Chains A and B, each alone.
Chain A
């Protein structure tokens, strides 16, 4: 019996099982409920500590925040069902905590109530979030509007020069009683532009051009537009004396360039430029010079008999908080005075919630950034990756610049703590960032096939 003719059929390997990721929308809902409850609890704690009764608006406040969060959740359920379930709850919790802190500080300044306006802006922010999630079906659409976006960003950055300076910085425009900080919106637009441009030109940036010593210099044609845009934005910011934001753009630029090209040289060049810029600005600009002096000697004004400056007051607030804090409503961070609800909002959290509370807030930001990076890692195409990394880095750098500033780690530069600080433009922008991250993570997780991207 011949075995000829008998072919041993080798079985085809089974088609790879498409392992879909779980959607986890239920977890998201549970976390949102938790975030809303925590915020309402904080609101009640302030009222109990100050007046011994529940604040009158507690139910309305909780309901408002809850409805907003639920609408956002429904939008995500509808149009981004695979999105990372942590992004939205973190945004809700930070926004809610910010409202509690601002409401708490409003008690010290009866003539200047900021919490109701902040609630309106939060509503607008969530509305923008819902709009982005509903209307932007694919983040890659943004790539088409790269140059429109960048021109819009530059216009937004230049606009405040035409308006009078507020507290030494020309970063506000006032329309019909509302103060808007257009630079905040420009952040997102610039991040989109950097991501789109680098995604399109990253090979050219990495592999063409002359080589000088160990450094691969890209051709001017490729690098030109990006450096020009960056220079214009930083120049405008220095003119407007908003150094925090220019530091932010610079950091964003370096991080994205490094991620896109993989050239360590960019980091070296970036750090060198940053150092040179810092020294030059520190020498030449008296405004900046005094900030650095204050950072090095926060208590010099006390020794000079002029009383504590804002940074010293901020440090005192943090110190008073200690490990566990004084409790909501029981601190004295209002001594910081001007900008206590915006730039220095973290000092109130530090005093009343203690190191425990601050660490929790930092970890929330850390988690938000980490989810952003995860979305970037899970994403396959370069634009999405760079966009997610850019937006996450934006949040990380902003938190570091302002939180490091108010705790005396680095010189203080005015900037809003994402979600926490008073400031409508900031809240709206941060909701836009979260919306874009939700969109990118949804597309990344929807397309996930069980293999890591290379």
Chain B
């Protein structure tokens, strides 16, 4: 019997070993994959166990956290939600995060290992740090001016500081309040369904995630290419330009709104926004140089992050001459985000230099000490400084005597360019009204702000919408707000 008792004992040892091995399998070998399983709520629970860090605009947080005492404890709140939604995005317990809430999630949620007091400390203690804050470059008054300017319309505004690339305003209209999306209840689901069903697409960030045909505002790029490449040496000399202009290789005739475009100088043509002159210039510059200049301004760059990704603005590189002619006046396949066009205006105001734009000034630890600063950005020379000086003159002409008079500001030098972009099948859609501009106060050493405004307004009568009429006043309000501040 003893022998058999021992056998039974060995059997029990076998069971024990099986249990131990299986426990090791579950707790050590499989643990990482179990922790990543979408059905596992622990990552969410620990994520929402503490208040989220805040996004700061002009020294004041525009976000907050609310203790719900639920399983997912803290919910995001927003002050002035719709105004800052194109910057903050939303932080939803159901639908994830977008824009800054997404790009800086590590800092805001406290998961960023940089927040730990010592390297690997959190891996050891299994603690999560309190969330850090994200300080933005936004100019609250400029943001508010842009938001009010677009109220009730569809469109977007992007404003930059030309010398640094700091983004001063980023507005998309119509906007939405991100707060109802924060929670995890049925109210959040309803808000989500409503926002997604909305035909005006309020969740779309038109300033950075939507591209539009830039229309005549692209003539800034074409003029820069023409001056840089030597096709035009004297921007005040008459060009040999027919009116109407027959697109090379086609029978399509390009016409102008203005009557005095035939053989106009580049400077005149810029003020009058002559399609014929700039289409012909584009063809004369050639696809290669046009592409090079457009890319130097930031076109065809799909990797720009501010720190959330910006949609790629395009300038087609495989064009025949007719297509190149159309592309050079911002039609055909040329498309740009409002932010990209603000970069174009900023390059003119900044001596031809393009700075990659950014939205985060610095991130801070919970106590307020700096974690990461923006640091210096890449600089590209989009055009010669001499070209930039001439373009400044031309853009100033537009505001002083052209279509951009509504953007003029007393006590400041303002340059701009209007644009009215055709779109839709057979150009049947309501045109987009563009205005890009920059402004330098009389006492300033350099231009302090560059703006791009686009208004797409389905409600307006077709003839009523124009860059100078609809978009320029908004740009002016934004520029004024920036210039007024010390």
| B31: interface (CB < 8 Å) | yes
Q: How far is the CA of A318 from the CA of B27 in the complex (A)?
A: 6
Q: How far is the CA of A308 from the CA of B45 in the complex (A)?
A: 15
| B234: interface (CB < 8 Å) | no
Q: How far is the CA of A400 from the CA of B11 in the complex (A)?
A: 11
How does the 8 Å CB contact mask read for A368-408 relative to B, with 1 for contact and 0 for none? 01100100110000100100010011001101100110011
How does the 8 Å CB contact mask read for B1-45 relative to A, with 1 for contact and 0 for none? 111111111011101101110111011101110110111111001
Given contact pairs A308-B39, A408-B26, A453 touches B45 in the complex (Cβ within 8 A): no
| A332: interface (CB < 8 Å) | yes
* Cβ A259 vs Cβ B1 within 8 A: yes
* Cβ A409 vs Cβ B12 within 8 A: no
| A161: interface (CB < 8 Å) | no
Q: How many residues of A contact B (CB 8 A)?
A: 54
Given contact pairs A358-B27, A362-B19, A369-B12, A385 touches B5 in the complex (Cβ within 8 A): yes
* Cβ A316 vs Cβ B5 within 8 A: no
Given contact pairs A315-B34, A393-B12, A404 touches B5 in the complex (Cβ within 8 A): no
* Cβ A454 vs Cβ B2 within 8 A: yes
Q: How far does the Cβ of B215 sit from chain A's closest Cβ, in whole Å?
A: 46
| A91: interface (CB < 8 Å) | no
Given contact pairs A312-B39, A322-B31, A370-B9, A408 touches B22 in the complex (Cβ within 8 A): yes
Residues of A within 8 A of B23 (CB): 318, 350, 355, 358-359, 362, 407
Q: How far is the CA of A397 from the CA of B18 in the complex (A)?
A: 12
| B126: interface (CB < 8 Å) | yes
* Cβ A316 vs Cβ B20 within 8 A: no
* Cβ A377 vs Cβ B126 within 8 A: no
* Cβ A399 vs Cβ B19 within 8 A: yes
**In the complex, which of the residues A259, A332, A393 contacts B42, with contact meaning CB atoms closer than 8 Å?**
A332
Residues of B within 8 A of A389 (CB): 5, 8
Given contact pairs A308-B40, A316-B40, A318-B23, A258 touches B8 in the complex (Cβ within 8 A): yes
Residues of A within 8 A of B30 (CB): 315, 319
| A225: interface (CB < 8 Å) | no
* Cβ A404 vs Cβ B126 within 8 A: no
* Cβ A262 vs Cβ B39 within 8 A: no
| A354: interface (CB < 8 Å) | yes
Q: How far is the CA of A258 from the CA of B5 in the complex (A)?
A: 9
Given contact pairs A319-B26, A350-B27, A359-B20, A332 touches B41 in the complex (Cβ within 8 A): yes
| A106: interface (CB < 8 Å) | no
Residues of A within 8 A of B37 (CB): 299, 302, 308, 312, 316
Q: How far is the CA of A332 from the CA of B31 in the complex (A)?
A: 15
* Cβ A366 vs Cβ B8 within 8 A: no
How does the 8 Å CB contact mask read for A411-454 relative to B, with 1 for contact and 0 for none? 00000000000000000000000000000000000000000111
* Cβ B12 vs Cβ A332 within 8 A: no
Q: How many residues of B contact A (CB 8 A)?
A: 36
* Cβ B4 vs Cβ A396 within 8 A: no
Residues of B within 8 A of A255 (CB): 8, 11
How does the 8 Å CB contact mask read for A327-341 relative to B, with 1 for contact and 0 for none? 100001001000000
* Cβ A396 vs Cβ B12 within 8 A: yes
Query: Which of B2, B26, B28 neighbours the largest number of chain A CB atoms within 10 Å of its CB?
Result: B26
| A321: interface (CB < 8 Å) | yes
Q: How far does the Cβ of A399 sit from chain B's closest Cβ, in whole Å?
A: 7
* Cβ B8 vs Cβ A319 within 8 A: no
* Cβ B16 vs Cβ A307 within 8 A: no
| A326: interface (CB < 8 Å) | yes
* Cβ B1 vs Cβ A258 within 8 A: no
Q: How far is the CA of A299 from the CA of B27 in the complex (A)?
A: 16
How does the 8 Å CB contact mask read for B151-165 relative to A, with 1 for contact and 0 for none? 000000000000000
**In the complex, which of the residues B9, B11, B27 contacts A321, with contact meaning CB atoms closer than 8 Å?**
B27
* Cβ A355 vs Cβ B34 within 8 A: no
Residues of B within 8 A of A301 (CB): 39
Closest to B27 in A: A355
Q: How far is the CA of A170 from the CA of B9 in the complex (A)?
A: 33
Residues of B within 8 A of A350 (CB): 23, 26-27
Given contact pairs A308-B39, A354-B27, A376-B5, A316 touches B15 in the complex (Cβ within 8 A): no
Q: How far does the Cβ of A222 sit from chain B's closest Cβ, in whole Å?
A: 18
* Cβ B27 vs Cβ A319 within 8 A: yes
> For window 40-84 of chain B, which residues contact chain A by CB distance below 8 Å?
40-42, 45
* Cβ A404 vs Cβ B22 within 8 A: yes
Residues of A within 8 A of B7 (CB): 258-259
Q: How far is the CA of A449 from the CA of B24 in the complex (A)?
A: 43
* Cβ B39 vs Cβ A302 within 8 A: yes
Given contact pairs A316-B42, A319-B27, A350-B27, A407 touches B2 in the complex (Cβ within 8 A): no
* Cβ B16 vs Cβ A362 within 8 A: yes
Closest to B32 in A: A319
Given contact pairs A315-B34, A318-B27, A319-B34, A409 touches B19 in the complex (Cβ within 8 A): yes
Residues of B within 8 A of A321 (CB): 27
Q: How far does the Cβ of A148 sit from chain B's closest Cβ, in whole Å?
A: 26
Q: How far is the CA of A327 from the CA of B39 in the complex (A)?
A: 23
Closest to B33 in A: A319
Given contact pairs A350-B27, A393-B8, A408-B22, A377 touches B2 in the complex (Cβ within 8 A): yes
**In the complex, which of the residues A260, A332, A354, A400 contacts B45, with contact meaning CB atoms closer than 8 Å?**
A332
How does the 8 Å CB contact mask read for A341-371 relative to B, with 1 for contact and 0 for none? 0000000001000110011001101100110
* Cβ A323 vs Cβ B28 within 8 A: yes
Q: How far does the Cβ of A349 sit from chain B's closest Cβ, in whole Å?
A: 10
Residues of B within 8 A of A369 (CB): 12, 16
* Cβ B26 vs Cβ A407 within 8 A: yes
Residues of A within 8 A of B1 (CB): 259-260, 262, 382, 385
* Cβ A319 vs Cβ B18 within 8 A: no
Residues of B within 8 A of A335 (CB): 41-42
Closest to B18 in A: A409
Residues of A within 8 A of B15 (CB): 396-397, 399-400
Closest to A330 in B: B126
Residues of B within 8 A of A362 (CB): 16, 19-20, 23
Closest to B29 in A: A319
Residues of B within 8 A of A403 (CB): 19
Residues of B within 8 A of A376 (CB): 5
Q: How far is the CA of A397 from the CA of B264 in the complex (A)?
A: 98
Closest to B31 in A: A319
Q: How far does the Cβ of B69 sit from chain A's closest Cβ, in whole Å?
A: 12
Q: How far is the CA of A359 from the CA of B40 in the complex (A)?
A: 24
Closest to B46 in A: A332
Closest to B34 in A: A319
Q: How far does the Cβ of A372 sit from chain B's closest Cβ, in whole Å?
A: 9
Q: How far is the CA of A299 from the CA of B427 in the complex (A)?
A: 53
Q: How far does the Cβ of B439 sit from chain A's closest Cβ, in whole Å?
A: 54
Residues of A within 8 A of B9 (CB): 370, 373
Q: How far does the Cβ of A253 sit from chain B's closest Cβ, in whole Å?
A: 13
Residues of B within 8 A of A260 (CB): 1
Residues of B within 8 A of A315 (CB): 26, 30, 34
Q: How far is the CA of A399 from the CA of B34 in the complex (A)?
A: 24
Residues of B within 8 A of A409 (CB): 18-19, 22
Q: List 10 A-B contacts (CB under 8 A).
A: A259-B5, A302-B38, A320-B35, A323-B27, A327-B126, A335-B42, A362-B20, A366-B13, A373-B8, A407-B19
In addition to A322-B31, A362-B20, A407-B23, 6 A-B residue pairs with Cβ atoms within 8 Å of each other are A259-B5, A262-B4, A319-B26, A320-B34, A355-B24, A373-B9
Closest 5 CB pairs of A and B: A302-B39, A319-B34, A308-B39, A319-B31, A396-B12
